[in-house]
Amino acid sequence: MTNRVRRLDLFDGHTAGEDPLRRSIQKHYTEVARREKACCGEDGSGASAETPSGRLYTDDQLKLVPSDSVAASAGCGNPTAFAEIRPGDTVVDLGSGGGIDCFLAARAVGPTGNVIGMDMTAAMVELARKNAVKLGLENVAFRLAQIETIPLPAESVDVIMSNCVINLSSHKEAVFTDAFRVLKPGGKIFISDMVLIGDLPKEVAEDPVMWSCCVGGAIRKERYLEMVRAAGFAEITTISETPSPAPDGAAWAGKVLSLSFRATRPA
C-alpha cells in the first residue's frame, strides 16, 4: 500500500466535522491560539526551521505586529520577506493562524490592496481579527475556511502565500489545484512548508499529534513539488531549504526540511 493511500485512509472527508484527524489539528491550534500550548518546535515536540538568530522575522517586522500575533506565530518561514507583493495587490494567506504574515502583507499592499487570511480554526480567526482591530488595519479580513476549497472566485487573486500549513492537509493536491484556480494568470504563490528528505516511520506518519506538529503530514520534497507542477504552476524556484531541529533520538531527526519556494500561474 502506498503512503498516499495509507494517509488518505486516516480521513473520512473534507469537512472538519466528520474528519477525526482534522478535528485533532483544530484542537491543537485552538490551544496554540489560546496560548495553552506551544507550536511547533518551540518546546522541541515538532518541526520548525533552524535560523542563525533563532527567529524567523526581523526586528523591524516584529515591531509592526501585536505581541499575541507573534506569540501565536507557528510558521517555518517568512513568506513576506521573499513574496513580491505590490501596492494594490489582492493577497491570500492559506492557514493564516494569528495573522502575522497578513499584517506584514497589509503594509505592502497599502490602502488600495487587500489581504485575506483563511484558517479552519475558529480560535485562530478570532485572534487574528482582534489583532487586526488593534492595528487599525482596514485592508485585512480573516475568514473561517478550509484551504482545499478556497471560498473565492476564479482568477481573483494576485498573490497567495502560506506558512507551514499545507503539510497539515491530507488533500495537498486539492490545495494546489484550488490555489491555481483563484490566482489570476501571471499570479504567484510564495510558500514555506515542511517537506521530507527521508521516509518517516509508520508510527510517526500515522500519529495525529505528529501531524499537528507539522511532521506526520509532511511528504517527500520531490512529490510535493510534483503536485505543484501538476496543478499547472511553472517557474517553480526554491528560495531556501532549512533543516528542522529534532529532539534527541526522535525517529524523524534529519528527515524534515523547511522549504521556501515560489511559483507562477502562467499568463
Least distance from C-beta 53 to ligand SAM, angstroms?
17
Q: In angstroms, rounded to a whole number, what is the distance separating the alpha carbons of residues 105 and 113? A: 10
Instruction: Give which of 227, 223, 216 is closest to 22, Cα–Cα.
Output: 216
Least distance from C-beta 72 to ligand SAM, angstroms?
6
Least distance from C-beta 68 to ligand SAM, angstroms?
12
Evaluate whether 188 touches 179 at the Cβ level (below 8 Å): no
Least distance from C-beta 249 to ligand SAM, angstroms?
24
3-state SS of the chain: helix, strand, coil percent to 5? 35, 20, 45
* Gap between the terminal Cα atoms of the chain: 39
Q: Which is nearer to ligand SAM, 58 or 249 (CB)?
A: 58
Evaluate whether 141 touches 113 at the Cβ level (below 8 Å): no
Which spans of this chain sit near ligand SAM (rule: CB under 6 A)? Answer: 25, 29, 39-40, 73-75, 95-98, 100-101, 119-121, 124, 146-148, 163-165, 168-169, 214
Least distance from C-beta 44 to ligand SAM, angstroms?
16
Q: Three-state DSSP class for 121?
A: coil
Q: Which is nearer to ligand SAM, 65 or 88 (CB)?
A: 65
Q: In angstroms, rounded to a whole number, what is the distance separating the alpha carbons of residues 185 and 47? A: 34
Q: Which is nearer to ligand SAM, 66 or 95 (CB)?
A: 95
Q: Which is nearer to ligand SAM, 113 or 117 (CB)?
A: 117
Three cell numbers written together for 229: 507542477
Q: Which is nearer to ligand SAM, 214 or 219 (CB)?
A: 214
Three cell numbers written together for 14: 473534507
